[in-house]
Structure 1
């Protein structure tokens, strides 16, 4: 039988009839049994998976792709085979997670702002000043014209506004510079100016209306306000309360403090949580309240991948702080039939000094913020504890890679129609 095809007449045919399949078979090519062809399908699939992985559909990079593209790595390194953005791959361990958890995840008001005490209220251009001058004895400059009209020897000057030159006018004293002085300093200046004519003058100065260097609170508040700081000082939260409070939850509200050329910002929830961030305000400060919800993205083989409504892979924080475990749970967890639990990745731009604190030395040409990929192995029970302490940041991207078996299933789904078509063709031809 070697070199010739074996023809077996079908049961319903007469032995003398010729099989159509044998008639089309080359004279020296043996015919493969169907079970032999069936054995070849898994082998072909495995070979194709290794040689043509880019041919199989996927929702993003696989584990080997992420490892191969890293410039520097910590944990399980992979080969560098192609030019990339130069990101760093870090496998979660107790050391690097503790370093990240101890680092503030958001910008805070500087020590200069948070440690500043209440400042004296200074007089500025446009302020309305009230002045009262007392004399210690009778017969001075300010004797009442009518005897018994009022007790005491004093005069209350009409309220006047500090002019562009920063001065006010005092009878018998002339022009007195007021800008930049506190009320008590201006009192001493006026008393000294009229001391050679008045009898032991004593002066009381009040700021009746403050129009210079007032504090303003605006943005997403109930009512924008502008007011002068009280002599006792004004803190950030009390200023926001003057404006009726924020219009949105504290975990979605950013507070920007503008002081001269410097602008700093932090989350309102952090100000409520940390009393040191409830800073003292100064004249001329501007407080701007804005709504800035924080989000993270979850792609790949996460639980929320099928819905009767439109899918949204952009998830809000909805809290002051969020851990990686919280984020994965909010995204629906990992898909049992698709996910590779060893290949859960988080993509973010990490500060170079943060990487140095974790024991990594970024390249000399690395930018201030280094593209960084954190890898979590969910098959390791320790990793599940670490993810509860790993802090999420705004715009973080979580990607869960497909398991190799999923790619195998996809390849089988691709080649199966061709094998079925071939079998049908043979059946029709037979």
Structure 2
């Protein structure tokens, strides 16, 4: 006759045996934390406890007001005021530029137009084209050396007229740029053709320079344009520049445009569907779009695992602007820096949360963590316990 009481006794002893250290019933992927800490010859820092955070942070539950505030602050990446506040201006001439000078007189018999009759194209004389020399000047007969570098053609014209006013007959002057050699703009990086080109007198804007370089190699939402000017650099995402004409700023002499690929990404941890996938093992997921919402990010991570996830405990970790938190009425420590560790909690057990999460914008380097449901730990325990209990029962029967 089988003895079921033996199986029951074995079943009652299983939890005790599993609680014994080193018993080997509960598998581990490595040494336990207490073993690692006990074996250290030296320890530095406070190990802390799970209930005591090592860094203070703010916890915010998503609500319509919170989502509206965050969505309002999610502005496109923009250049700084030092670039956007500048008005377009004419590019002055520089050393090395080649210019032409044409002088008109009111009638023949003046300084440049002889009185003798002859076939002439008109009452003007065109001087040979000349290059602005190292001292930044050009030479005009009877006017001497004229300062040209750093000035516009109109300014040079006025100076020549003043110099010739007492010697020529009502002189008029036209100064034209023959060849630009001083003002250049460079476009380098992840473009199809890096180049350095002279700045057109009519001006050149950022997208025009990018077009000269045959466009970027990568999608616009992954392409960042960094403008270097006067030892200062600023950047914006190309997709934002395309959508906002104000960001298509005018270039100036000496500017360098660096085009780089900088994909934005977020990290998904915890009970997300991606964990159970055998094809998607990367938890560092790129946006692959100009904008990404919290709902879309969770979907890219495989959604919430039906058998593990706690839908009311979906957390988003990010470094939030302290000033924005204070403006929203959230208490921030006075000693806090410019950014504060912040956790946003989304309760997807509430049907309306799906609408709010669809409007909540993700940011670069955000981290999503989906907590396990309370029953998950019990399920793990039962998965381990039941086979052992069955074996004990079979042993008792034998």
TM category, shorter: 0.7 to 0.9
Is structure 2 residue 240 aligned with structure 1 residue 270? yes
Deviates more, 1:418-427 or 1:306-315: 418-427
1:15: which partner in 2?
none
Q: Residue 335 of structure 2 is aligned with which of 346, 365, 371?
A: 365
Counterpart in the other structure of 1:405: 375
**1:63 alignment counterpart:** none
1:381 aligns with 2:351: yes
Q: Output the CA distance in 2 between the equivalents of 1:161 and 1:318.
A: 51
Q: Over alpha carbons, which structure has the higher Rg? A: 1
Partner of 1:279: 249
Query: Of 106, 112, 130, which aligns to 1:160?
Result: 130
Residue 26 of structure 1 is matched in structure 2 by none
Gapped regions of structure 1 (runs ≥ 5): 1-9, 12-20, 22-30, 49-54, 59-78
Shift of 1:391: 0.5
The alignment's TM-score, normalised by the length of structure 2, stands at: 0.84
Asked if 1:213 is matched to 2:173, the reply is no
Counterpart in 2 of 1:108?
Answer: 78
What secondary structure, in the 3-state scheme, does the structure 2 residue paired with 1:276 have? helix
Paired residues, what number? 372
Equivalent-residue separation in structure 2 for 1:234 and 1:310 (angstroms): 45
Match of 2:41 in 1: none
Conserved 8 A contact 2:313-2:347: yes
Residue in 2 that maps onto 1:259: 229
Displacement after TM superposition at 1:425 (Å): 4.8
- Deviation of 1:424 after TM superposition, in Å, equals 4.9
Contact 1:144–1:150 under 8 Å retained in 2: no
| SS state at 2:306 partner | coil
* 1:115/1:365 CA distance change after superposition, 3 Å: closer
Say yes or no: does 1:128 pair with 2:110.
no
Moved more, 265-274 or 207-216: 207-216
Asked if 1:392 is matched to 2:357, the reply is no
* Change beyond 3 A, Cα 1:81–1:275: same
Structure 1 residues 214 and 146: alpha-carbon distance in aligned structure 2, compared to 1, 3 A threshold:
farther
CA–CA distance in structure 2, aligned partners of residues 97 and 41 of structure 1: 52
Distance 2:280 2:291 in 1: 27
2:143 to 173, 182, 186: 173
Whether 1:356 aligns to 2:313 is no
Compare 371-380 and 141-150 and name the one that shifted more. Answer: 141-150
Shift in Å, 1:159: 1.7
Query: What secondary structure is seen at the aligned counterpart in 1 of 2:274?
Result: coil
Provide the residue aligned with 2:197 in structure 1.
227
Mapped to 2, the partners of 1:398 and 1:309 lie a distance apart of 20
Paired with 1:208 and 1:408, the residues of 2 have a C-alpha distance of 83
Q: Displacement of 1:300 after TM fit?
A: 1.4
Q: Distance in 2 between matches of 1:378 and 1:310?
A: 24
Unpaired segments of 5 or more residues in structure 2? 20-25, 30-48
Instruction: Assess, with a 3 A threshold, how the Cα gap between structure 1 residues 267 and 367 changes in structure 2: closer, same or farther.
Output: same
Q: Secondary structure at the match of 2:130?
A: strand
Q: 1:56 to 1:297 in 2, by over 3 A?
A: farther
CA positional deviation for 1:224: 2.4
After TM superposition, the structure 1 = structure 2 runs for residues 51-90 of structure 1, keeping only pairs within 5 Å, are 81-90=51-60
- How many Å separate the matches in 2 of 1:133 and 1:318? 60
- 1 CA distance for matches of 2:294 and 2:161? 67
Going from structure 1 to structure 2, the CA distance change for 1:105 and 1:408 (only over 3 Å counts) comes to farther
Q: Which residue matches 2:173?
A: 203
**What are the residue-to-residue correspondences of 1:283-294 with 2, within 5 Å?**
283-294=253-264
The one of 245, 250, 253 equivalent to 2:220 is 250
CA–CA separation in structure 1 for the residues paired with 2:13 and 2:326: 50
Paired residue secondary structure (2:87): coil
Specify the SS of the correspondent of 1:192. helix
Quick one: distance in 2 between partners of 1:113 and 1:160?
34
- 1:308 deviates by 3.8
2-structure distance, mates of 1:323, 1:191: 64
**Secondary structure, aligned partner of 2:370:** strand
TM-score between both structures, scaled by the size of structure 1 = 0.78
Q: Please say which of residues 190-199 and 408-417 is displaced more in the overlay.
A: 408-417
Choose which of 327, 330, 337 in structure 1 pairs with 2:297. 327
Aligned to 1:67: none
- 2:271 matched to 1:301? yes
CA RMSD of aligned residues (A): 3.0
